[in-house]
């Protein structure tokens, strides 16, 4: 295991929702798991006026996100953990100089022995990332000559290619690229990382992982919820920016990439960038019309409950043309993937919450047995990212009895069967990696830009294209009526259920 050196984590935007909802519970789990170094402190900072004790109460002892733990008798440990937390006001504005903050950091560092090692976590709106980086640098807090300094930034990383490039340049003015950690919480998911292991730790999949054996690749990310209380943010973002450009492009890069020469962060990230750069960019309006579908959920009645349409949600423009459903078909222009279509979709207000990658293998080139329903019976490898995390391989078996009737069976693995193993939450894993300086699961500048390069023309077409459409779908169905139009021939989306083996197979081999 890597070593976690003594250090201090300084959270900007510490009075915000993300700190209480994700960061502090993840840090508490690291504390319980004994992953924190001996000398460790969390210093929250924001514009709110809070004392150390107010902050501890807000995000730990009275936090709704740790309520269950309190009720389950963790009181003593929670109290011990909360003593690791401190708070310092930043002043009226993040743009003010950080002299006060620096003094507090240095005095805590002296008292607690955190050895000048600091991580700055920016859980603030992205438009102030650069000013924070600048102010930190002005106080020599980015200078890692006496202890290391790291900067973690949250998504969204840019609004389009140009703004992402500007942000990269802006941050790199004050911190070196090796100090910048761009978080994408999907990379912290165990099952996303398992994509690499499935591909490169087995000798049975990789020989088939190419255009000769794969018919197409399908990736679904569905959420049952709508935009909830984030209408204001979401309406300026949409499914393509909110999920596709980051989380789904990361998954695509892991499916598409070539084998890295080792598991070193830069080796893996180099291959991911190459993968993203090989996606065929769609610029032609006809191509974009035929290969992209956007839609919005409309009001519906579901199980006797009325569900609001997207345009009626709080904070959303009643005439909004922001998509809550995005489905894209594209190709990858390289040796391995030539002519293999990728179908990737993400949406809110779907029938269930599920994320999965489905590798559809080509059928046998000569059919000996009855070929009825071939697409139904093709070999599929389903990598379930959430929920019911696991892997399922579908293959044909003979139905007992006369003749050769073929049915489909499932070979499966479920993470839940690893009862002994504590699976870390995404934030827990990613925070620990950053604390140890491991950037493998963080996005590099060129990776983010390559993803934007692919997404930008689609956004541009959706905003300005002549014949672009916005379809509607009732909350609780699998997208608009024409959502299958991206496929030709006998295929369509696999609309997965909550459980990995949701469709009746002939038998399950445990």
Binding site for ligand BG6 (CB under 6 A): 223, 242-243
Q: H helices then E strands: how many in the chain?
A: 17, 18
CB 291 within 8 A of CB 329: yes
Least CB distance to ligand BG6 at residue 223 (A): 6
Sequence-distant (≥ 6) Cβ neighbours of residue 419 within 8 angstroms: none
Sequence-distant (≥ 6) Cβ neighbours of residue 401 within 8 angstroms: none
Edge-first strand order for the sheet with 390-398 is 471-474, 292-298, 325-330, 342-347, 214-222, 354-361, 380-386, 390-398, 406-414, 508-509
Number of alpha carbons in the 13 Å side-chain half-sphere of residue 507: 7
Taking the least distance from each CB to ligand BG6, the nearer of 47 and 308 is: 308
Residue nearest to ligand BG6 (CB): 242
- Positions marked active-site: 247
Cα angle vertex 104, ends 100, 105, to 5°?
115
> What does 403-458 look like in DSSP terms, one character per residue?
S--EEEEEEEEEGGG-TT--PPPHHHHHHHHHHTT--TTSB-HHHHHHHHHHHHHH
Q: Tokens representing 80?
A: 């011990």
CB 330 within 8 A of CB 282: yes
Least CB distance to ligand BG6 at residue 242 (A): 5
Taking the least distance from each CB to ligand BG6, the nearer of 247 and 394 is: 247
Least CB distance to ligand BG6 at residue 300 (A): 20
Q: Closest Cα to residue 277, out of 396, 448, 415?
A: 448
Taking the least distance from each CB to ligand BG6, the nearer of 242 and 271 is: 242
Taking the least distance from each CB to ligand BG6, the nearer of 20 and 243 is: 243
Least CB distance to ligand BG6 at residue 172 (A): 24
Least CB distance to ligand BG6 at residue 120 (A): 21
CB 330 within 8 A of CB 342: yes
Least CB distance to ligand BG6 at residue 234 (A): 7
Taking the least distance from each CB to ligand BG6, the nearer of 189 and 394 is: 189
Taking the least distance from each CB to ligand BG6, the nearer of 243 and 434 is: 243
């Amino acid at each position: 295991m890597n070593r976690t050196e003594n250090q201090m984590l300084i959270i900007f935007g510490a009075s915000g929702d993300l700190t209480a909802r994700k960061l502090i519970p993840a840090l508490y789990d690291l504390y319980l798991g004994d992953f924190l170094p001996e000398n460790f402190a969390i210093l929250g900072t924001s514009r709110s006026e809070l004392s150390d004790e107010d902050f501890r109460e807000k995000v730990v002892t009275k936090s709704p996100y740790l309520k269950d733990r309190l009720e389950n008798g963790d009181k003593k440990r929670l109290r011990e953990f909360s003593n690791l937390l401190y708070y310092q006001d930043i002043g009226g504005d993040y743009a003010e100089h950080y002299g006060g903050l620096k003094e507090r950091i240095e005095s805590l560092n002296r008292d607690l022995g955190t050895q000048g090692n600091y991580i700055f976590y920016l859980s603030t709106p992205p438009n102030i990332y650069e000013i924070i980086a600048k102010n930190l640098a002005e106080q020599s807090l980015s200078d890692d000559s006496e202890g290391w300094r790291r900067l973690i930034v949250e998504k969204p990383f840019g609004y389009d290619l140009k703004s992402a490039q500007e942000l990269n340049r802006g941050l790199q003015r004050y911190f070196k690229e090796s100090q910048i950690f761009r978080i994408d919480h999907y990379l912290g998911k165990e099952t996303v990382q398992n994509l690499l292991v499935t591909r490169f730790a087995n000798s049975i999949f990789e020989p088939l992982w190419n255009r000769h054996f794969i018919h197409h690749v399908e990736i679904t990310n569905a959420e049952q919820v709508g935009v909830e209380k984030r209408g204001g943010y979401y309406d300026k973002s949409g499914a393509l920016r909110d999920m596709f450009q980051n989380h789904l492009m990361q998954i695509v890069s892991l499916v598409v990439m070539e084998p890295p020469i080792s598991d070193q962060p830069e080796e893996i990230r180099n291959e991911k960038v190459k993968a993203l750069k090989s996606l065929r960019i769609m610029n032609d309006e006809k191509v974009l019309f035929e290969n992209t579908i956007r839609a919005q959920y409309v009001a519906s009645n579901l199980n006797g409950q009325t569900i609001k349409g997207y345009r009626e949600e709080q904070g959303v423009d009643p005439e909004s043309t922001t998509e809550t459903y995005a489905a894209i078909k594209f190709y990858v222009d390289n040796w391995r993937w030539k002519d293999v279509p990728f179908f990737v979709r993400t949406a809110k207000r779907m029938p269930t919450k599920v994320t999965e990658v489905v590798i559809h293998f080509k059928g046998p080139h000569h059919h000996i047995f009855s070929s009825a329903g071939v697409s139904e019976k093709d070999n599929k490898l389903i990598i379930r990212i959430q929920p019911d995390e696991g892997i399922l391989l579908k293959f044909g078996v003979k139905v007992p009895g006369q003749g050769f009737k073929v049915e489909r069976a499932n070979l499966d693995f479920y993470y839940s069967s690893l009862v002994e193993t504590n699976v870390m939450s995404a934030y827990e894993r990613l925070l620990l990696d950053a604390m140890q300086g491991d950037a493998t699961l963080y996005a590099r500048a060129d990776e983010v830009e390559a993803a934007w390069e692919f997404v930008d023309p689609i956004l541009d077409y959706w905003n300005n294209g002549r014949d672009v459409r916005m379809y509607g779908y009732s909350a609780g169905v699998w997208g608009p009526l024409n959502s299958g139009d991206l496929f030709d021939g006998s295929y369509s989306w696999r609309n997965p259920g909550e459980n990995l083996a949701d469709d009746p197979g002939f038998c399950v081999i445990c």
